[in-house]
């Protein structure tokens, strides 16, 4: 199947809008949307920047199944359900090797992430962001998007090799060489607006933009309510506390 067929598109498009008799060409951005706090904030940032949003979500067999439905709800909130794509990467669950995809590996409480080689947490999914960006690049090229937004953060997730600035820079270089638009002089940009922000800074910006945090989930575990004790929950709760704001999602424990 062609990339256009996979994403439900007929080929590169150049959508236009008419305002006051003037034809406007809408710029487009693919947003890698997990259904979590960071990626949903990227939706708001990209929208404010004037982009037409093309969200893409990946079902890689993650333990937290609810985030896929959260992503659908976020896409609906922004009025772009028709352009939202959910792509299956089930082989990542078959590979295992991460507490997020392998049920035999327990999700550790905050501060006990079972680092591999004394640095990389057990919640790291091998190759995940590399795959995400590769497929998002295909969607961007087919849809005529000029940017890809991804909510990587080097402060909260410095232990993840695929959340670091040097990783993003290298992928950007490869994209310029490996795509038609890149070879023709118009490479697709990777936008990482959150990469050097604290969680509190992300939340404050999201609140300013009216980002629907009530529709998001950050928990690594698969329960209906967030566990409140995994690394991701604790980072989120601390972020809201530091931003002097109330997290709108329910927690089973750990919120005190």
Compute φ and ψ for 153, nearest 5 degrees. -140, 115
The answer to whether 40 is annotated as binding is yes
Residue 163 annotated as lining a ligand binding site: no
User: Distance between CA 113 and CA 91 in Å, rounded?
Assistant: 23
The arrangement of strands across the sheet holding 28-32 comes to 85-88, 52-59, 28-32, 147-149, 189-191
Lookup: tokens for 225? 């309510």
Give residues with Cβ within 8 angstroms of 208, minimum separation 6.
none
34 known member of a binding site:
yes
Answer yes or no: is 36 a known binding residue.
yes
End-to-end CA distance of the chain: 50
Instruction: Tell whether residue 33 is among the known ligand binding residues.
Output: yes
37 is in an annotated binding site: yes
Residues 156/199, Cβ–Cβ less than 8 Å: yes
| Count helices and strands in the chain by DSSP H and E runs | 9, 7
Q: Is 42 annotated as a binding residue?
A: yes
Closest CA to 180 of 230, 140, 214, 153: 140
233 annotated to bind ligand:
yes
Would the annotation count 230 as a binding residue?
Answer: yes
Annotated binding residue 41:
yes
Q: Binding site residues for ATP, as ranges?
A: 33-43
In the annotated binding site, the residues are 33-43, 219, 227, 230, 233
Feature table: binding site for Zn(2+): 219, 227, 230, 233
């Amino acid at each position: 199947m062609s990339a256009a067929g996979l994403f439900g598109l007929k080929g590169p498009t150049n959508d236009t809008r008419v305002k006051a008799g003037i034809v406007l060409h809408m710029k487009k951005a693919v947003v890698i949307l997990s259904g979590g706090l960071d990626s949903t904030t990227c939706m708001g940032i990209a929208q404010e920047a004037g982009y037409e949003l093309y969200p893409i979500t990946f079902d890689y067999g993650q333990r937290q199944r609810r985030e896929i439905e959260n992503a659908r709800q976020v896409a609906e909130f922004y009025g772009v359900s028709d352009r939202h794509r959910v792509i299956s990467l089930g082989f990542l669950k078959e590979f295992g090797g991460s507490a997020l995809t392998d049920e035999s590996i327990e999700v550790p409480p905050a501060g006990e992430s079972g680092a591999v080689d004394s640095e990389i947490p057990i919640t790291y999914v091998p190759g995940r962001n590399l795959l995400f960006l590769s497929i998002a690049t295909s969607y961007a090229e087919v849809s005529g998007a000029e940017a890809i937004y991804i909510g990587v953060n080097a402060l909260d997730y410095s232990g993840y090799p695929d959340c670091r600035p040097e990783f993003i820079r290298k992928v950007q270089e490869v994209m310029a060489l490996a795509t038609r638009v890149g070879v023709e002089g118009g490479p697709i940009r990777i936008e990482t607006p959150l990469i050097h922000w604290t969680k509190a800074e992300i939340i404050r910006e999201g609140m300013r933009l009216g980002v629907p945090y009530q529709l998001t989930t950050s928990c690594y575990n698969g329960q209906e309510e967030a566990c409140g004790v995994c690394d991701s929950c604790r980072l989120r709760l601390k972020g809201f506390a530091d931003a002097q704001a109330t997290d709108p999602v329910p927690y089973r424990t750990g919120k005190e």
